[in-house]
Structures are given as structure tokens and as C-alpha cells.
Amino acid sequence: MPTYKRVGLTVKSSLERKEDTIAEILSILQSTGVSVLVDAERKTEVQAWKNLPVFCKESEIDLLLVIGGDGTILRSIRILTEFAVPILSINRGTIGFLAELELHEAATELPRMIAGGGVVETRSLIHVSARRNEKQFFAGYALNEAVIAQGTMARLVDLEVSVRGEPLTTFHSDGLIIATPTGSTAYSLAAGGPIVHPTLSATILTPINPHSFSQKPVVIPSEHPVTVQIAMKHVKFQNAQVVLTLDGQVYEPLRSGDSIEILGSGASISLLRKAQDTFFHTLRRKLKWGE
């Protein structure tokens, strides 16, 4: 009997050869005896699953199977309201740090993992909230990072950062990335941040193109709240835009004076992994170290 009896299935909208890929995965899943439910929001996108039931709530499935790259996984996390269902992913993107299986592995690995042959790995989330005139106007979770950055106009912005209420610095930069250890291999890494092992309880602050060469990435305990104040008083053009994005999926315009607080939330998601995989193996394979 499978460990995960009800498998929810979602897919990258722009996936190449989508119909063939879905048909192949459906054939493998149905051979295991699981019930397959498809993402209600993408029900009409795939002919191969048009006759399958849909899931609308996390409680209706035992496992979420994602076909796509890291962006699809990050989008799919927003399906989970309680973060109680593990995610298994088949990489059809580019690097795919979060993705676990390649398509050519699915026929052998997918049945084994559905039957309980994998390991569940937890990844911490950060909670992000924004206040304007003392009133909260935005709140959400991120697995990779929250980014506060200038928008369409190429102007540096001033971001006053405090940690546990103590002033840290004012970043005069293109923006600031506040990343989890999971997100340390994403945008933060591209901006010069460190790689942090995903099991550590930490938050990474990585400035984007800081004006001062002395302002470097900082790693702090995840339980320390980070507050970022948008200070536009030194910006020459007052119509310069600043935006908050979570995982590259959620976009919120900000104003001068807005305050954003980021805190390790204690919440986490679960990723179903192959037992033999390790973080260092992933680094070597995805970043092609040693080649």
C-alpha cells in the first residue's frame, strides 16, 4: 500500500511538451494505485488530466507532486495554507535547487518514494509583514527570500535596517535581500551572499549593489526580527519606486516611511527527498563544482 494515497498534481504553465510529460507521470502514478487529484486552478491547461478530480484544499491530498522548476515549487507553496503536506518535485526547469527528481528517474523513483522510500526534509519559512502609518497592510510567508528593491527607475534607495530593535546600518543600494538558508542558493547567492546549509536556523541579509564597499552580507539568528524602514528623503527623484517581493511570486509596492518586519516564523514546509541525497551532493550536481 502506498504511504501517500492521495497525490495532488500541479504543473508549470509554460512547460514544453506538457501533454506528453503529464501523460507519462499519470501512467506512473496510476500504476501505484494512488488517487490522483489535479490543481483546480490549472484543470483546463492539460488535456491528459481533464477527467481527473481536482483538489482545492490542502486537506484533500497527502502529497503535492510538482512538475516544473523552482519557480513552480515556490508558486505551489501558496496552495498550502497549513504547510502540512510534503512536496515532491520533478524538475522541468533550469537549475532546480528545490526539485528532487529528473523526468528520466520518475519511472523507478516515483513509485518507491510514494511507497515510503524517501525521507522528509523540513525547510523553514520567514514571515514578512509591512506597516504604513502604524497599520499593517501586507503579510505573507517566503521560503527563499523577501526582496526590497528599487523598481523601474535606476536609483539607489536608503533602507534603514535594525535587528532586534538595534540599528544595524542604512543600506544605500539597489535593494536588500533577506533570505532563508534555503534561499541562500537563489537570488542572494547571485548578489554575492554566502551559501548556508538549509538545516541551520539563520537569516541572511544581502545588500544589492551597495554604494559602500564596506557593507557586506550578514548572517543572523532566525529568531532575531529584522526591521527595514524605507527612507526616501535622500533620493533625488521622489517618484522612484520601491517594491517588496516574496520568492519572486508576490509583489507589493512600498512608500517612503513604510516599515517591513521579517522574522523566522517557526513554520516550515516539508520536501520529500531521495534518501541518498545530501545538500553537498546537490551543490556539486547543480552548481557543477569540480567539473
Say how far apart CA 235 and CA 192 lie, in whole Å: 25
The amino acid at residue 191 is A
End-to-end, the C-alpha distance of the chain in Å comes to 42
Q: Which grid cell sits at 258? A: 513604510
Strands (E), 96-217: 101-102, 119-132, 135-142, 145-150, 157-163, 166-173, 175-179, 202-208
Say how far apart CA 65 and CA 101 lie, in whole Å: 11
Say how far apart CA 64 and CA 271 lie, in whole Å: 10
- Does residue 70 carry a catalytic annotation? yes
- Give residue for cell 523553514: 124
The 8-class DSSP code of residue 114 comes to I
Nearest CA among 255, 233, 87 for reference residue 172: 233
Between the alpha carbon of residue 256 and those of residues 7, 12, 154, 231, 253, the distances in Å are 45, 36, 17, 5, 10
Measure the CA angle with vertex 220, ends 71 and 144; round to 5°.
5
Catalytic residue among 70, 158, 247, 258: 70
Q: Is the dihedral of CA 110, 9, 268, 220 positive or negative?
A: positive
Catalytic residue annotation: 70
